Structure 1
């Protein structure tokens, strides 16, 4: 009976919509300044050896005000960080690894998971991108869902109990 639920889960995963990969909630603190809001763009750059999604995060904010002797002055604060997402959409932030993001990047791993950047316009000379993924299958290194129905059981003609 659990096999039917598993097949339904796999079928729904195959039809899963594109999901935006999460960013740290406290990201402005990593930038070190927030003057009227921090603008963030995220990019995917590939799958690492563990099958996790690697990417880059770019953040910027502009602080402005009147300077001595009048006049208007502004300063832009910018930061790059490398980010790693697992296929459960958790993330780990790392120091920037100098991988240049490609806004047109698209990749698919051996399990059918695909990652891409959805970009629109530019921000501070960088494409305003959002790293996203279609996650179809979790690799075998993660806990599998098991079927507890004995192999030799004849379950034909029995009612389906979905409450188990």
Structure 2
């Protein structure tokens, strides 16, 4: 659905709409735990040399329960990943590159495409941000990044049964 919205945006340069950059649907599984939901913040950190949008994704969840001998114990799980979006809204998730995101970061490329972090409140000590963009022009020479499946995500195997 977001792809249709972006194509409509690209078809008419007069239309100016902010688009939230997508996150992998299976992102919580990359964290390795989900206790009552995974909180996710995404940040843009700039355009790379190919014109792709680079950013960081922070996820966390907190698990708790009664410990042995009584008392309540909780454990936080958190993870950072680097993400690359092309201007067609595809993404590629990479290991964290240790770039500390700036919640107030904004940038514009040579085509007038702009990226920004829209932040509100905080989540586990980190600003709760959503990486977003205004895309006005996608150069025809720019190759899209295809959607990727994280290496540690299980892919179902469908057995093939043949009649003899």
Please say whether Structure 1 and Structure 2 have the same fold, judged by a TM-score greater than 0.5.
Answer: yes
Superposition CA RMSD, Å: 1.7
Whose radius of gyration is greater, 1 or 2? 1
- Gapped runs of 5+ residues in structure 2? 1-7, 144-164
Partners of 1:47 and 1:112 lie apart in 2 by: 12
Q: After superposition, give the CA deviation of every residue in 1:23-74 in whole Å (9 maximum; x if it has no partner).
A: 0000011000000000000000000010000000000000000001100000
Question: How far apart, CA to CA, are the structure 1 residues paired with 2:32 and 2:9?
Answer: 42
Q: Distance in 1 between matches of 2:102 and 2:21?
A: 17
Which residue is 2:111 aligned to? Answer: 111
CA distance in 1, matches of 2:112, 2:96: 28
Gaps of 5+ in 1: 1-7, 144-164
- Mapping of residues 106-145 of structure 1, within 5 Å: 106-142=106-142
**Shift, 1:15, TM fit:** 1.8
> Normalised by the size of structure 2, how large is the TM-score?
0.79
How far apart are the structure 1 equivalents of 2:9 and 2:94?
33
TM-score by length of 1: 0.79
Determine helix, strand or coil for the equivalent of 2:13.
helix
Q: Which residue of 1 aligns with 2:17?
A: 17
CA distance in 2, matches of 1:108, 1:88: 16
Q: Do the aligned partners of residues 9 and 33 (structure 1) sit closer, same or farther apart at CA in structure 2, a change above 3 Å counting?
A: closer
Runs (4+) of structure 1 exceeding 4 A deviation are 8-11
Say how many residue pairs are matched. Answer: 136
